[in-house]
Amino acid sequence: MVEVRILEEAEEELALLPTSERGAMQNAFAKLQELGDALGYPHSSQVKGTSLRELRPRRGRSAWRAFYQRVGTHYFVIAAIGPEALSNPREFRRMVAIAQKRMKELEMDHD
């Protein structure tokens, strides 16, 4: 079992999701915690061109994604939550960029 940490800003984004989607996202967090790197497609996939992965609630049928990254060997960090790429490509790219920025800030805080 691997620890899943959710950045405060991502917690705020999670709170904005519809109740049913928030529950699906929390179930996806639990799967990530239980399976770690073994959590594969369709539950998780690599965000192309980045070091991030996207958590895909409801086996990818949710319109929402959590953008996360492994930090060391001990835990994953959920850096942002946003829409999936096909439903809102512009916002997807924006949230990926925000997640990357947050992860970079996190790395700098720990140096």
- pTM of this structure: 0.94
Q: Which letter does DSSP use for residue 50 in this model?
A: S
Q: What are the chain's domains?
A: 3-109 (3.30.2310.20)
CB atoms within 10 A of CB 3: 11
Range 13-31 average pLDDT: 97
Per the model's pLDDT, the better-predicted residue between 2 and 30 turns out to be: 30
Please give the Cα distance from 77 to 52 (Å, whole number).
10
Q: What is the pLDDT of residues 72-110, one digit of tens each?
A: 888 999 999 999 999 999 999 999 999 999 999 988 776
Residue 110: what pLDDT? 62
**What is the pLDDT confidence band of residue 6, given thresholds at 50, 70 and 90?**
very high
| pLDDT (tens digit per residue) in 31-79 | 999 999 999 999 999 999 999 999 999 999 999 999 999 998 889 999 9
Count Cβ atoms within 10 A of the Cβ of residue 70 and give its class: 0-12 exposed, 13-18 middle, 19 or more buried. Answer: middle
pLDDT at 106: 87
